[in-house]
Structures are given as structure tokens and as C-alpha cells.
Amino acid sequence: MVDISLVVFDMAGTTVRDKREVETCFSEACKDTGLDVSDERILELQGYAKRDVFELLWRERLTHAHELQDYVDLSYNTFCEILENHYEESEILPTEHCLETFDILKRNNIKIALTTGFYRKVTNIILDKLGWLDGLNDDFIKVGGKTPIDISVTPSEVAGGRPKPYMIERAIDFLHISEPSKVVKVGDTPVDLEEGYNAKVWKSLAVTNGSHSHQQLSLHKNDGLLNNLADLSKALNLDVQKERRNFVTF
């Protein structure tokens, strides 16, 4: 059995329930700012840092490069307002089997990191509503409290979002993990899988009950596709019978 020290999870669609809300908010921002893009194209770009996505989409459409940043700023700022309002006003819940999976990892002495394509403000809204912000310090590392996670990392804290490996590398560094071969990545998008490979983790896995189906994800390099997070402990050959710790669920 490989000595696993850390599992890095995506948020929306993997550990946080998402009924296409992110895609809907993104699509609304596109329409409000005159950016013509299909729902299929938006889905293809799920998981990337959202400002990077707007820059890519506007770059594809503009003929004058000097206009680019003005258009990107308009679309991105509109998206941020729509997204923040959505999460402030909506119920936020963990995905099916998320908390029990966190519990199993903790009982096997495996740390938990969350990475995301969201910027820090929206991430904190989500974490706070879940009760997962309680106990994180200014570097968003667990120092106590009720949070089940050990670190939260967003593109706001690193030099670039997915598929670059910087968020995973930050988690490895701040949690003092000896090497990436002791790390597993779990997401729900192709770019999650790519991020894991770029970080040279032991396994890069994806759940198929999030934003992408089994068929869609099977077209991309992966180390395993899971029906949902309940399959993770079996995929990692974890002992699910270890004595329960005093672990807080919500």
C-alpha cells in the first residue's frame, strides 16, 4: 500500500454540491457583457480560474488586442457580482459521501486540502456557510476549530490557477508533505486531472457525478474514475474500520 499523506479535493462539483450554478452564473455574465459563448464551451472550461477563462474567450473574439483587458474586466467583474450574490443567498451543502470520506481520511491520518477555480472571497463565503472556515488561520491552514480540512488554496494565493500545479504545490509545502508521490488529487473536470499530473501526484482521480460524466472524463488521461466520493476509500485501499476519532460533521 502506498503511504498517502494528503488528498487534494476540488470544491464545486466534487466536495460542494453544484447543480450547474457556476455554469449558469458564468453564462449570465457572458450574456450581460456581450460575450457570445455556447454552454458546451463553458463546460469545457470548468475548473479553470475564471478570469483566465474570460481572457481566453475574449482573446478568441477580439481583433484589437488593446481592447482585451477592458472587456475581460467587464465580464469578470460582472461574473463576480452574480456569483457572490448567488452564494450569499443560496443554501450550500457538501456533496454526497463527502463528510464520511473526510472522516475516513482523518482516521487514516491523511490530510485534506481544498483547491478551486474560485477566487478567495467566494471561496470563503462557501467555506463559512459549510462551517469549514472555522479554525483556519490567515494562510487558510487549520490551527483548530471545527473545520474538517487542513488547508484551502485558491488562485488568489498562487501565481496561476489550473492546470498549473501551484495550488497543489502550496498545499504540499504548507502541510509539510515530503513528496508529491504521497498525494492524491480528486476533482470532477478534465483540468482537475491535468492539474494532478502537472503536480506529479501519485494518482489523479475524478468523480463522475459532478460537472462531467463518465463518458466525458474517460476521454482524458486519468488514474481512475469514481461514481462518487464513496468509491475513494476503496480506490486508495484505506481501512474504513479504524477507530473513529472525535470528528465533527455537519
Q: Stretch 5-30: mean pLDDT, rounded?
A: 94
Check whether 223 has a pLDDT greater than 50. yes
Q: Stretch 218-235: mean pLDDT, rounded?
A: 97
Say whether the peptide bond before residue 163 is cis (omega within 30 degrees of 0). yes
Angle in degrees, CA 232, 210, 145, rounded to 5: 65
Q: Stretch 237-250: mean pLDDT, rounded?
A: 63
pTM assigned to the model: 0.89
Check whether 136 has a pLDDT greater than 70. yes
Question: Where exactly are the structural domains of the chain?
Answer: 6-17+93-235, 21-89
Q: What per-residue confidence (pLDDT) applies to 247?
A: 46
Architecture field, domain 6-17+93-235 = 3-Layer(aba) Sandwich (3.40)
> pLDDT of 46-67, one tens digit each?
888 889 999 999 999 988 878 8
User: What does the block give as the cell for 172?
Assistant: 504540499
Lowest mean pLDDT among 72-81, 109-118, 126-135, 240-249: 240-249
